[in-house]
Amino acid sequence: MEEKMNPPQTDTLRAEAFPADIHAALRELTTTVTEQKANIRALETRLRDREIAFSASLMESGNGYTGPFTTDITLTYRNVFTNIGKAYNPITGIFTAPLKGAYMFSVSVYGHGGAVATASIVKNGEKVVSAHDVQPNEGERLTASNGVVLILGVGDVVYVRLWSGNRIHDDDQYNVNTFSGYLLFPLH
């Protein structure tokens, strides 16, 4: 005679597969997922805050000379190519560090002969490095560039000063006078 097998007890299987209070377990899972989403948003924000880079040239339009002046002047690089993090102000020509870190800055100067062109990268009022060239012949061009890695704290400022008695030339076609900078890495 053939023995009949009883089908499994579905209520017993469900009880073993799920906790006694399914609603409590779902609430706990929902809370965990919500917390993880908040953590992901916070990490994305922290990563975005570390994206700091700018690059600009002197003239937005046209061409012409800047200088000479009787005192050093802060150059305002108005033709902004990149300003990720909005730390560079094209109205003032000043970069303000939004977070503590190591930053790379570079400057290039260009002019026509019969001139001296010297511009310095300045940190909090102190000249750090300069780009300098002299070309006494009127028909010749002069070019110079320099760069530096600086440790900046929140609120430190960096800008470029054209030395008194110096003259540079720029045009919107070639963009030969530039100021650029970016965050290498944050510091704690």
Count of Cβ atoms closer than 10 Å to residue 19 Cβ: 11
One pLDDT digit (tens) per residue for the chain, 188 residues: 555 565 555 555 555 555 568 878 778 888 888 888 777 776 666 655 679 999 999 998 888 899 999 999 999 999 999 999 999 999 999 999 999 999 999 999 999 877 889 999 999 999 999 999 988 777 788 899 999 999 999 999 999 999 999 999 998 889 999 999 999 999 98
What pTM value is reported for the model? 0.75
Q: How far apart are CA 27 and CA 4, in angstroms?
A: 42
| Short-list 181, 185, 183, 184, CA closest to 106 | 181
In this prediction, residue 43 carries a pLDDT of: 62
